[in-house]
Amino acid sequence: MQLFHGYIKEDKFHLHEHEINHCVRVLRKHAGDTIHFITGSGPLYKGHIEVATKQLVSGNFELIEERFGCFDYNLTVAIAPTKQLDRMEWFVEKAVEMGITKIVPILCDHSERRILKPGRLEKIALSATKQSLKGALVSIAPLITFRDFIEGQSVDYIAHCGQGEKHAFKTQISEQNGPITIMIGPEGDFSETEIKLALEKGITPVDLGKSRLRTETAALVAVATLYQRHL
């Protein structure tokens, strides 16, 4: 199935500008053809093209499925952006395929990348959403400091490599229902101060296995652990 990204306005569907060229020039769709599209909120639609030009693709539509490709879990991963941006991009692509709900880039004491433009990541997330046949777009939040993040919302777990008692993430989530939020640190790990602040907030320290993992690998292991649980 070829999916497009569109929106609904005044009882007609419209493809977003970045989709029109692929639809009209590459796939040579024209008036009278049928396509499938998502709006990013969850449903799958079938569109019946009435207008197909270089500037506009629109027409009538019908709802096919309310929660297209949706999973029965809600997972937020707060991750320190990697120094090499392609590793962060790889994580976003694979995490979207496995059904992550939200990605929050966090700025930590040991962060090597301190600036992150979300535009490229959002394009990768959209492409992965369509490729993996999902109706809901992953939310990618603006970069936020570690302290502001843990002060601003409920966080369940912090995965770190420091000393102290830790629990297996797989065991912790085995019977947990409801939204799950886990924090993954930078390549130099969370600082002792950050770990202490998290523990003071009641955030549970967890490990993701015996190996010492790169940031993006650790984050993807967390996503895959929850994904496997719901297969």
54 plus 89 within the same structural domain: no
What CATH number does the domain containing 151 carry? 3.40.1280.10
The residue-averaged pLDDT of 164-184 equals 93
Residue 36 domain-assigned (yes or no): yes
99 plus 20 within the same structural domain: no
CA 111 to chain centre: 21
Per-residue pLDDT at 5 = 98
Please check the confidence at residue 28 and state whether its pLDDT lies above 90: yes
Residue ranges making up the domain that contains 42:
3-65
Per-residue pLDDT at 175 = 80
Domain count, the chain: 2
Assign 117 a pLDDT band (cuts: 50, 70, 90).
confident
83 plus 58 within the same structural domain: no
Per-residue pLDDT at 146 = 98
Residue 193 domain-assigned (yes or no): yes
| Helices (runs of H) and strands (runs of E) counted in the chain | 7, 13
Please check the confidence at residue 229 and state whether its pLDDT lies above 90: no
Three-class SS state of 10: coil
Tell me which of 65, 84, 115 is where a domain ends. Answer: 65
Residue whose tokens read 């390549």 = 187
Assign 45 a pLDDT band (cuts: 50, 70, 90).
very high
Per-residue pLDDT at 105 = 98
Please check the confidence at residue 113 and state whether its pLDDT lies above 90: yes
Per-residue pLDDT at 231 = 79
Residue 70 domain-assigned (yes or no): no
